[in-house]
Amino acid sequence: MATTEEVKKLAALARITVGKAELEKFTAEFDAILAYVGQLEKLDLPQGKGGEKPALRNVMRADGEPHTALAYTEKLSEQFPSREGDALSVKQIITHD
């Protein structure tokens, strides 16, 4: 059973604010969803077969020439919510007080 406290904590971890009404709705829905996916807890997988992984492959890439410097700078910085020249401008997080 999920509690509103748990859901609130998850929301904080996920950097989301959930309003009071929505918190109760989400908690109730969580219970239904977790009850459904909870069938996995009871799933009895064949001995020794549970940890099987699909065949894994290493994908390596040779070091090559990087793209030309500044080729994408303007395009990317156009998307910045706030910029100073080509730099992304964010709030100061370290103060000297």
Interacting residue ranges for other proteins, rule: CB under 8 A: 2, 6-7, 10-11, 13-18, 22, 26, 29-30, 32-34, 36-41, 43, 45-46, 49-54, 57, 59, 61, 72, 75-76, 78-82, 88, 90-91, 93
Q: Are 68 and 38 in contact (CB under 8 A)?
A: no
Task: Report the nearest approach of other proteins to the CB of residue 88 (Å).
Answer: 6
Tokens of 28: 């109730």
Contact indicator for 86, 72 with CB cutoff of 8 Å: no
The nearest distance, CB 66 to other proteins, in angstroms, is 13
d(CA 24, CA 17): 13
Least separation in angstroms between residue 59's CB and other proteins is: 4
Between residues 61 and 96, which has the closer beta carbon with respect to other proteins?
A: 61
The first and second tokens of residue 76, run together, are 């990317």
Query: What are the structure tokens assigned to 35, written together?
Result: 């009850």
